[in-house]
Structure 1
Amino acid sequence: MSPDGKSLAVIQPTAGRGAVLSVVAMDGSTGLKPILRSSGNPERLQYCRWSTNTRLVCGLYVIDQIGTSFYGFTRLFSLNSDGSDQKLLSARANQYSLGIALGGGGVIDWLGEKGDGSALMQRYVLPEMTTGHLTAQTSEGLAVERVDTRTLERTMVEQPRGGVAGYITDGRGVVRIMARRPTTTLGQSKDRYDFLYRRKGSREWLPLTTVTVSGGRAKGFEPEAVDPDLDVVYGLDSSGGRIGVYSIALDGSMTKKLVFERPDADVDQLVQVGRQSRVVGASWVTDKRETAMFDPPLKSFATSLSKALPGAPLASFVDASADEQKLVMFAGADTDPGRFYLFDRASKKLAEILPIRPQLASVKLASVKPISFPAADGTMVPGYLTLPPGSDGKGLPAIVLPHGGPWARDEWNFDWLPQFFANRGYAVLQPNYRGSTGYGDSWFQQNGFRSWKTAVGDIDDGGRWLVKQGIADPAKMAIVGWSYGGYAALQSGAVDPTLFKAIVAVAPVTDFEMLREEWKGDSSPASLDQTFGTRVTAEEGSPARHADRFAAPVLLFHGDRDQNVSIRESQLMASRLRGAGKPVQFVEYKGLDHQLDDDAARTDLLDKTDVFLRTTMKM
């Protein structure tokens, strides 16, 4: 939303992997007016924000090849709201630059209500050759600049510093927090972040807190947002194994206070609103996502909203005008992909802007039910069950669909993948196995890699529960997963070869040591040990090393430009299965990364998966 609340910028997907940026007047005087198109090949339009009432800043993501390797680049550019005067906002390299900046920088402060077209950007500064070049840049590291998004005039606010991972401002143009990440002598990142802060009016950096990241779970107070009026920084921290919201005073006293926590779940998000990203609440998930508002007027508004939209209980802030009198909201549910709304606080009127997936308006979607099932050791494992619309829930073809991550979790909402399978007649179980986030330290275990036996055991027990409950036909039960979920699907085929009759893995991890090798350039050996464990763990837990155990046919999908999990992992798995005489199909998508974010590719994936499952399980 523009600072004055009169215009809205909307990004919508187009055919293939493209997108179109449109602007619409909020008074209804004009409809969606396209001002920019991106093909998605290779540049992908990711987001846009307003720097003034008539100018936008947008981010692009590009995957390009350098030598034999693929790299992801980000770049920022600005343009007028009619699409004119496009300018590259990311700093340009030159012939003297010693290296390539993959990141094009990011806006960390829109300078409150000023709306003069300037913003604070952090970016990585590269050193330059000094030979024959008297004005060469010799410093290297993350810097902060004040950039005019119209003229590109730049002023350095924070000089480049090596080892700095990020900055946080107070939302009014003052940098208050700095994060450092120590590195080894080989330049690999260690498993901790050191945060420093400044008192008001001071340029001196003082120690604030240290956060260690062990196997994917952070320990310690992690700053996220500064409140300049209260002079505190808000962040997430754990106590008693649960994550809550805390504040630390930035006046030098370092007074730490608990702001909000839940006894039954990790608080995983701060709720922020407006151009200053003002903290107004916190969010967490039990069976469904819930929100507690700290701001009294917005708390009252949230209560009224839930009454006004009883069929769409999942509501969140998207954006706001500079004075926060106009709010853009999103609301959805399990059977509603969601839609955007405009709320005018002055008139107290709520109006729909547009739906997310209008093509599904006439499609009957499947309801999602929170459930729990017993693992082999008696532990109750939470998850979600989606049954085909109109089904009696008995004797169905079924799919166990473990989530990726593994440091993630499934939530109650609209999810296109289980909805597709339910539409095709499958019961779908999404288990939040041990190793998932959101349930505290004890549930996280040592993460889904080191604790793979527990995680995969829970997932397999979910399949056994479906059979025991009479929901699944045991002869027609499959497992499907993406990323770590793909790993779990494959590893289940090695652990209990006859449980699932078909296995589908999208962009899967197949060998721990191979993934470790992919990550070793950025992470220290100690950090990698915390994530993947020992070589014994890799030997036992890598499905590519046990292809001879598989009984169920396997279908693999992977994009050749995957930056998360190399396509070599699927190539290895396919090769090992073929070598062991096991049935396997491998589909490679050219020019796509981990998300396969292309409508043709995803349609192809769904069609091939459906045919594979029906053929394999003789449906």
Structure 2
Amino acid sequence: MMGDGAMKKTILGAAAAILCAVDPLHMAAIAATAQTASAAVQFGARENVEYIDISPDGHHVVYLQAGPGRATYVFLADLDQGGESRLVVRSDGNPERLRWCNFVTNDRLICQMSAVDFSGIVALPFTRLISIDTTGQNLKLLGQQSSFYDSRVRQFDGEIVDWSGGEDGTVLMSRSYVPEAGRTGSHISRTSDGIGVDRIDVRTLRATRVEAPNPTASFYMSDGRGVVRVMATRAMRGATGQLGATVDFRYRADGSERWQTLGSWDTRTGAGLYPLAVDRDLDAVYVLQKLNGRLALYRVKLDGSMASELVYANEHVDVDDVVRSSRGLRVIGVTFAEAERRTVYFDQDYAALARNLGHAIPNLPLIDFGSASADGNRILVHAGSDSDPGRYYVYDRATRRLNEIMLARPELENVALSQVRSISYPAADGSQIPGYLTLPPGREDARGLPAVILPHGGPSARDEWGFDWLAQYLAHQGYAVLQANYRGSAGYGDDWLRQNGFQGWRTSIGDITAGARWLAQQGIADPNRLAILGWSYGGYAALQAGATEPGLFKAIVAIAPVTDLQQAKDDVADYTDARNVAEFIGSGPHVAEGSPLRHADAIVAPVLLFHGDHDLNVRVIHSQRMDAALRAAGHQSELTVFPGLEHDLADSTARAQMLGRIGAFLDANLHRQ
């Protein structure tokens, strides 16, 4: 495992290596350069703004910008000086990746780094929180300092529980404490074990204990004003060392030190309640809980009465989350995805602002409010649509001005993009399967197109209406693209989720292949020029569809696919969540029957595989074994392995290479005209 000292040295060295930075707000120059790039490079570029936050005084923003390849830059931009930017820090992505940065004060940030360590017997993901000046100086690690005598590896050093620690320049941080073992010749040995909460001064690292470390604690929730009100615990399965499937929640009444039972959540079934946010003014916690088989939003009093009231429910889909004001101080609404994502605002000021922005930028209906200045005057806004990757704005309440500050994907600013239609089609049993259809730009009424079925990953996830870089690339190349929310997808309630897409693979795969037939029946697609492409579970679905219905697809592309269900269980055997993963996948005949690796001889279409060799979600051995099995069966297969990349292949160069190869592969096998 990389030590904290080594990580600090790596971050500081990387920051010093950057001598200058391009001003990303100079959008015209970037857009002009983008015109000369190939489509694979344009669509494969990582999102230009990966994270953004506004300073307490509202005069600056800090944002993470995708650099070349897998590098990430953190910039500070002055909103009052024409967007002038300067570099704060960077990561090269090999292996450390910067994930986010937030202001604590106007001149001090907290950022999170992550990586996967492959130096031990078992590969381990880890994260570290750092505090750093906006000038890039005085970098400090916020977690517990490592010791030679640590009894175990500290994977995750902690999380920010509350950005308002009760004092200027402080935060509440849940810290992971590891006791020492084997220290001799000294009476001083660390014994704290588990996750506790400290109030930390981000400049001096002076820490004050708020909650004692608890070996069973998973996370804590505060009221947004420096008081911890909810604790989550997760017990082990006896002496097995395996995590249980149930998360238990406790709460404290206002002013009390005694923990009381709030409820529990079954991670397998979603039964019980799951807390989202504490409302200090109402002395209540917002929770997700099922109503008629769908997740709904409730509010539970924390005064000892446990009085519960329904806040919002939807008859068709699950409620996903609450919407908070800046820094999570207030719950201002609830969000969920029907055919399009919707937000219902409880706060009338935000509701009015959302309506007004909708009138000001009618072509960008997907509006999200980000962080705000301490006085609430300046608010970050992201707005996008199906055919616009998104733009970032700063709204000034006092002047009522909306200023665009940067593009999410400047490489695509002058590229024709496609509209996305919400559709539904019949499955074999007559059930209507919701999904999205993307046709080549300017060819909305085209007929007999080559088509690509693009099933989503998960499987317990779903596609939504909006910009999708992979679907848009395929449409740009001339393909009709169908994305189905097959049964087994999340968001539609228990009846739709069913067993999940592994245990109930026949239903899920059947829904996906029914979409291909529907495209042909409607005349949209040429039945002799159908392909299927997927990532993660979507890649699994692509291969399994090729095995169960050989001849339906003329080309198969699988990115980081699961190919053998038993292998997927074996991959996590040395981890504490192994038992839960095994139960999710299940046991029985479906494990062999639902594994495309076991049926490679049935796949007749050419197969193209991509995988990162640092993928912990789905190990690269899945693609390696699939490629070998297909070749042994005499079938056409090609595998590209990207060294050092994780499941999301967060490398613009690698993504461009992948898209270029996909484009050529599909053209060759679908005979695109």
TM-score (norm 1): 0.97
CA distance in 2, matches of 1:328, 1:460: 42
Q: 1:269 aligns with which of 316, 321, 325?
A: 321
Change (3 A) 1:52 1:484: same
Offset of residue 527 of structure 1: 3.2
Give CA-to-partner distance per residue, 1:35-80, whole Å, 9 cap, x none. Answer: 2222112211110001111111111112222235432221111111
**Corresponding residue of 1:483:** 536
1:26 aligns with 2:102: no
CA distance in 2, matches of 1:121, 1:199: 21
1:473 partner amino acid: D
CA distance in 2, matches of 1:301, 1:393: 39
Which stretch shows the higher mean deviation, 131-140 or 425-434?
A: 131-140
- Aligned residue for 1:616, secondary structure, equals helix
Greater relative contact order (Cα < 8 A, sep 6+): 2
**Corresponding residue of 1:589:** 642
Give CA-to-partner distance per residue, 1:335-356, whole Å, 9 cap, x none. Answer: 1110111112222221112111
1:583 partner amino acid: Q
CA distance in 1, matches of 2:581, 2:158: 27
Give CA-to-partner distance per residue, 1:85-113, whole Å, 9 cap, x none. Answer: 2222222211111111111211111117x
1:373 aligns with 2:462: no
1:609 aligns with 2:662: yes
Q: 1:253 aligns with which of 305, 316, 319?
A: 305
Give CA-to-partner distance per residue, 1:138-184, whole Å, 9 cap, x none. Answer: 23111111111101111221111111111101111111101111111
Structure 2 matches for 1:121-140, cutoff 5 A? 121-129=173-181, 130-140=183-193
Offset of residue 190 of structure 1: 1.3
Which stretch shows the higher mean deviation, 269-278 or 230-239?
A: 269-278
CA contact (8 A) 1:3 1:115 kept: no
Structure 2 matches for 1:202-601, cutoff 5 A? 202-214=256-268, 217-391=269-443, 392-522=445-575, 527-528=580-581, 530-601=583-654
1:27 partner amino acid: D
Offset of residue 535 of structure 1: 2.8
Change (3 A) 1:525 1:418: closer
CA contact (8 A) 2:364 2:383 kept: yes
Offset of residue 528 of structure 1: 3.8
Offset of residue 529 of structure 1: 5.0
RMSD across aligned C-alpha pairs, in angstroms?
A: 1.4
Offset of residue 240 of structure 1: 0.3
CA distance in 2, matches of 1:95, 1:389: 59
CA distance in 2, matches of 1:529, 1:564: 14
- Aligned residue for 1:337, secondary structure, equals coil
Q: 2:216 aligns with which of 160, 163, 174?
A: 163
**Corresponding residue of 1:173:** 226
- Aligned residue for 1:66, secondary structure, equals coil
1:186 aligns with 2:240: yes
Which stretch shows the higher mean deviation, 153-162 or 44-53?
A: 153-162
Offset of residue 133 of structure 1: 3.1
CA distance in 2, matches of 1:437, 1:521: 28
Offset of residue 466 of structure 1: 0.8
Give CA-to-partner distance per residue, 1:573-599, whole Å, 9 cap, x none. Answer: 112212222211111000000000001
CA contact (8 A) 1:51 1:115 kept: no
CA contact (8 A) 1:507 1:565 kept: yes
2:105 partner amino acid: T
Offset of residue 444 of structure 1: 0.6
Offset of residue 526 of structure 1: 6.1
- Aligned residue for 1:428, secondary structure, equals strand
Offset of residue 523 of structure 1: 5.5
Q: 1:100 aligns with which of 153, 171, 187?
A: 153
1:199 aligns with 2:240: no
**Corresponding residue of 2:116:** 63
2:260 partner amino acid: L
CA contact (8 A) 1:398 1:428 kept: yes
CA distance in 2, matches of 1:577, 1:133: 60
CA contact (8 A) 2:143 2:176 kept: no
CA contact (8 A) 1:52 1:115 kept: no
Offset of residue 28 of structure 1: 3.0
Where structure 2 has 5 or more consecutive residues not aligned to the other structure, the ranges are 1-53
CA contact (8 A) 1:210 1:221 kept: yes
CA distance in 2, matches of 1:2, 1:310: 28
CA distance in 2, matches of 1:314, 1:28: 28
- Aligned residue for 2:267, secondary structure, equals strand
1:322 partner amino acid: A
CA distance in 2, matches of 1:231, 1:280: 15
Give CA-to-partner distance per residue, 1:436-458, whole Å, 9 cap, x none. Answer: 11111101111111111110000
- Aligned residue for 2:390, secondary structure, equals strand
**Corresponding residue of 1:72:** 125
Identity among equivalent positions (%) equals 46
TM-score (norm 2): 0.89
CA contact (8 A) 1:194 1:209 kept: yes
